[in-house]
Amino acid sequence: MKKLILAVLTLLLTTIVCAQPYTMIKGGAQLSKFSSDGSESKFGVRGGLGGFVPLGESSFYFMPQLVYAQKGQEDGKFLGNTTLHYAEVPLTIGALVKFTRNVGLGLMVGPYAGVAVAGKCDNPEVSDLFSTISRVDAGISGSVQLHIWKIFVFADYDWGLRSIMKDTDYEIGEKLTTRSGAVGIGFTY
Task: Give 61-112 pLDDT, tens digit per residue.
Answer: 999 999 999 999 998 777 888 999 999 999 999 999 999 999 999 999 999 9
Partnered with residue 162 across adjacent β-strands are none
What is residue 124's DSSP assignment?
T
- Answer yes or no: is pLDDT of 46 > 90: yes
Task: Give the residue-averaged pLDDT of 179-187.
Answer: 97
Local confidence band at 28 (pLDDT 50, 70, 90 cut-offs): very high
* HSE toward the beta carbon, residue 27, CA cutoff 13 A: 1
Q: Contact 40/74 with Cβ under 8 angstroms?
A: yes
pLDDT at position 85 is 96
- β-bridge pairing 151-160 and 136-148: antiparallel
Distances from the Cα of 21 to the Cα of 52, 141, 184, angstroms: 6, 21, 22
- Give the residue from 97, 12, 98, 94 showing the smallest Cα distance to 56: 12
Least confident of 51-55, 79-83, 173-177: 173-177
Local confidence band at 19 (pLDDT 50, 70, 90 cut-offs): low
Query: In CATH, which of 3.40.50.460, 1.10.3720.10, 2.60.40.420, 2.40.160.20 is domain 20-188?
Result: 2.40.160.20
Q: 3-state DSSP call for residue 77?
A: coil
Q: Contact 15/25 with Cβ under 8 angstroms?
A: no
pTM of the predicted model over 0.95: no
Local confidence band at 15 (pLDDT 50, 70, 90 cut-offs): very low
Local confidence band at 3 (pLDDT 50, 70, 90 cut-offs): low
